[in-house]
Amino acid sequence: MTNPYRPPQSDASFDLSHQAVRKRVSRPATALLIMASIHAVLVTIHLVSAGFVYYQQLGSGISLIATGTAAAQLVSMIVISIGAAKLGFLESYRMARIGSILACVPLLTPFVWLGIPFGIWALRLLRDPEVRGAFKDQSMPDELDGN
């Protein structure tokens, strides 16, 4: 028989495991966020300077391939940054996974190759059932896993 006047017990084990998961994912999330932010600033500087050169010289000496690659990198840096933030706060499994996958694409990763190990690290952590269960959106479909 239970006492109906007893205050409800909090689930301290859940709080401790949630904090432990946040601590595990904080390092790769922070690394991806910092690298993507710095690289996004550098790519933005490149795009702005290319725009000035194009405006002043009307297209001579500017490479459209380099500008297109820089634009794609800027978009991917924004997505990687959002995914890293979602990973660090355990908010959106799908966005964290998309950001981690983009960090593994050689031309789109921060600093061309440096983001790949951190993207792989984040993907390995995302495969852990304990980490996956800690996300707020636990209704994640299994088709992204390939299971």
Domain count, the chain: 1
| CB burial string 82-114: b at 16+ within 10 A, e below | bbbbbbbebebbebbbbbbbbbbeeebbbeeee
In terms of Cβ atoms closer than 10 Å to its own Cβ (0-12, 13-18, 19+), residue 6 is: exposed
Over residues 4-27, the mean pLDDT reads 76
Lowest-confidence segment of 71-75, 77-81, 142-146 by average pLDDT: 142-146
Give domain status of residue 43, yes or no: yes
Mean pLDDT of the residues in the chain: 84
| Predicted structure pTM score | 0.79
Give domain status of residue 83, yes or no: yes
At 128 the pLDDT is: 92
Residue 98 pLDDT > 70 = yes
Residue 79 pLDDT > 80 = yes
pLDDT band at 147 (very low <50, low <70, confident <90, very high): very low
DSSP per position, 18-54: HHHHHHHHHHHHHHHHHHHHHHHHHHHHHHHHHHHHH
Q: How far apart are CA 118 and CA 68, in angstroms?
A: 25
At 12 the pLDDT is: 53
Residue 15 pLDDT > 70 = no
Give domain status of residue 104, yes or no: yes
Domain span including residue 85: 24-138
Give domain status of residue 6, yes or no: no
Contacts of 115 (CB under 8 A, 6+ apart): 32, 35, 36, 80, 103, 104, 109
Residue 11 pLDDT > 90 = no
Give domain status of residue 50, yes or no: yes
